[in-house]
Amino acid sequence: MLHIVNKSPTERNSLDSCLRVATKGSAVLLIEDAVYAATKGTAAAAKLEAAMADLKVYALAPDLNARGVAGRVLEGVNLVDYGGFVDLVAEHDTCQSWL
Amino acid sequence: MSEEMEMEEGGGAVKKFMFLNRKAPYGTIYALEGLEVVLISAAFEQDVCMAFVDDGVYQLMKDVDTTGIGMKNFSKTYRALEGYDIDKLYVERESMEARGLTEDDFIVDVTVLSSAELGALMAEQDVIISH
């Protein structure tokens, strides 16, 4: 299934909840303020890197660009555009938005 | 003219205002609206400073390109603050470092303060407006 997170990891616990619950082989898409989790040097980065062993992690590139953090993305995070966002939703039978 | 006189009669009571920013830009409207309030406050000729704490430090990031999300890029507005005599910009070191950032990542010159220093500065203010 696909998990979508849109809240900053330093403001809400959405990402923590998502990573706690997501099962092996699931996909996690970071959008809006959640893209900060995919940037180097943050507490969330370590958690995300550990989670990448079991989960496929994506981040929405336009949101990274808008926040000036496109150059700080962690290795292993897959960047997608809005078309890629739609593809991910279409590819997975179930979606959960951690609002 | 009459407005100016009223300001004078206000007794030269220049107050110390701090605008405390704790929200990331673009994900919510707080940063943009907060910045508008700061610019408006410049018209009242008060002693204004801005502080950036928690995700608020992300407001100052360089290299912002919002074309992909269809929102107005207001990052350059922070550089215009100096023109409004708002040149005291403070960043809390703990917030900056927790996000893997340094002063070089910011679009404007800032003064980096420890949590304790920021706390002391907050205590000196007459008014703190937080968003």
Task: Report if residue B1 sits inside a domain.
Answer: no
**Residue in A8, A33, A71 closest to B63 by CB:** A71
First to last CA, chain A: 16
CA A72/CA A5 separation, integer angstroms: 19
Q: Are B20 and B129 in contact (CB under 8 A)?
A: yes
Task: Report all structural domains of chain A as residue ranges with CATH numbers, in order of start.
Answer: 2-98 (3.40.1260.10)
* Domain range enclosing B60: 13-130
Q: How confident is the model at residue B8 (pLDDT cuts 50, 70, 90)?
A: very low
Task: Report if residue B18 sits inside a domain.
Answer: yes
Q: Which residues of A touch B75 (CB under 8 A)?
A: 68
Strands A56-60 and B47-52: unpaired
Residue A25 in contact with partner chain B when CB distance is under 8 A: no
CA A54/CA B24 separation, integer angstroms: 29
- Single pTM value for the model: 0.91
- The predicted-structure confidence for B52-79, as pLDDT tens digits, reads as follows 999 999 999 999 999 999 999 999 999 9
Q: How many structural domains compose chain B? A: 1
- ∠A49-A38-A45 over CA atoms, to 5°? 40
